[in-house]
Structure 1
Amino acid sequence: MSEEQPQQQFAIQKIFIKDVSFESPNAPAVFTDGEWKPEVNVQINTEAKSINEGVHEVTLTITVTAKQQEKTAFLVEVKQSGIFQMSGFEQEQIGGMLGAYCPETLFPYAREAISDLVTKGGFPQMLLSPVNFNALYMQHQQKQAQEASQTETAH
């Protein structure tokens, strides 16, 4: 008699913007300060929390800061969220889905929102490069494992 595997199910219940912010503290002077060659810094963060059994909220936060001649031209932050339903997965698989697959699903929505905000702010279009969330998740897992082993050897 073999034990039957539960069927794996994954569904997107909702994708939404949880928070959005756009600032251009040095406008209009930033538009007349010579050729547009900004220094751009992009920060990416993900957060996952359980809503109830098999249902999770994942939030992808992307913060983009553009500086022109040491002055902030614009700062835009988008918190793109989604509600995802998962069942029949091992806990390790769920961790990977929450840490990589779900943020990867949310990224195009956040990328579009950032592009729209930057353009509406009067700046040239900004399209963020694709992100390998799987690699970021693996790096995060390795860092946590290293920190855990360092904590154990310290005791």
Structure 2
Amino acid sequence: MSEASAENKQFAIQKIYVKDLSFETPNSPAVFTEEWKPEVNLNLNSESRPVADNVYEVVMKLTVTAKQGEKTAYLAEVQQAGIFTIAGFAEDEVKPMLGAFCPNTLYPFAREAVADLVQRGGFPPLLLAPINFDALYAQQVNEVQAQVANPDNAQH
């Protein structure tokens, strides 16, 4: 196949939506009586799957856990999703789009959902820091390549 020309390349956002949403405050109301000095942990990942020719669903999963000492103050989980048309690109161009560009598009929506959940849960506002998805994707690719190149070290 010849290299795709710029005129034939198409990227479009068809839909952005919340796929799943959860918020728990297992130690309320006692957690509200303590001085607020939480340890906040963010777990983030994304996955993609084709839904039709040149159409993909990308789902970003964010889990934010805030702990006061050993007690969980809150647990917020958001699955922010999008349906994207990606046509006319070479396969080696599509993977970074699904692994970095689409998550970068979804992240502001996920950040807003988390901030809203936390505030509605009665806690001080939480603004998640920006994330460089291009760097995360590159790191993930490098890790996979390292495991393929040296499978003996991958299990340690």
Q: Provide the TM-score with structure 1 as the length reference.
A: 0.93
The aligned residue for residue 114 of structure 1 is: 114
Distance in 1 (alpha carbons) for counterparts of 2:66 and 2:4 = 54
Could you say what secondary structure the match of 2:86 adopts? strand
The aligned residue for residue 12 of structure 2 is: 11
Could you say what secondary structure the match of 2:148 adopts? helix
90 and 152 in structure 1: CA distance in 2 versus 1, 3 angstrom threshold: farther
89 and 3 in structure 1: CA distance in 2 versus 1, 3 angstrom threshold: closer
60 and 125 in structure 1: CA distance in 2 versus 1, 3 angstrom threshold: same
The offset of 1:151, in angstroms, is: 2.9
The aligned residue for residue 97 of structure 1 is: 97
The aligned residue for residue 32 of structure 1 is: 33
Q: Deviations over 1:19-69 (max 9, x none)?
A: 011000000000002x21100000110000011110000000010000012
Could you say what secondary structure the match of 1:19 adopts? strand
The offset of 1:153, in angstroms, is: 9.7
The amino acid across from 1:134 in the alignment is D
Alignment of 1:140-155 (within 5 A): 140-151=140-151
Could you say what secondary structure the match of 2:124 adopts? coil
2:47 is aligned with 1:47: yes
Structure 2, unaligned runs of 5 or more: none
Identity in percent: 54
The amino acid across from 1:39 in the alignment is E
2:74 is aligned with 1:74: yes
Structure 1, unaligned runs of 5 or more: none
The amino acid across from 2:126 in the alignment is M
Matched positions, count: 152
Q: Provide the TM-score with structure 2 as the length reference.
A: 0.92
